[in-house]
Amino acid sequence: MTNHQKWMNYALELAKVAGDAGEIPVGAVIVDSADTLIAVGENRKERDQDPTAHAEIVAIRSATQRLQGWRLHECTLYVTLEPCPMCAGAIVHARLATLVYGVDDTKTGAIRTVINIPDSSASNHRLQVLGGILESACRQQLQAWFATKRHKHK
């Protein structure tokens, strides 16, 4: 198992916690250049009644507090779902070195799928992006959660 798979598996565990709590199951992990865990996050929008409480934002806030600085230029963010425009903007502003995500988001993906914020002329920071890590597991987790929600609403 590669480090990317190891950390994405951890993000999947966090996503499960979010899903079990009624949140869309998305998890995020931030590690530094020495492969040390810095911060974690999971979707918390419903629990916190906060539209900005996406897994990535929760993890970025935690990482900047722990590191006592807003620049995460030596860190990698792992997240199970391609970030939305808000999260993509935060990733750029936090100066993350690398983004690794699981599955494309065909509705709001702002890294490669719908729009590409990191490579746009509006971005003042370039980062390495790697998508499709444990893609099948990330997709299955989301699909199973949404299927359960749809079944309850019928």
Report, as residue numbers or ranges, the catalytic residues.
56
Distance CA(154)–CA(86), nearest Å, equals 32
d(CA 81, CA 86): 13
What crossing angle do the helices spanning 55-67 and 85-93 adopt, rounded to 10°? 20
Cα distances (angstroms) measured from residue 122 to each of 52, 70, 84, 93: 21, 19, 16, 11
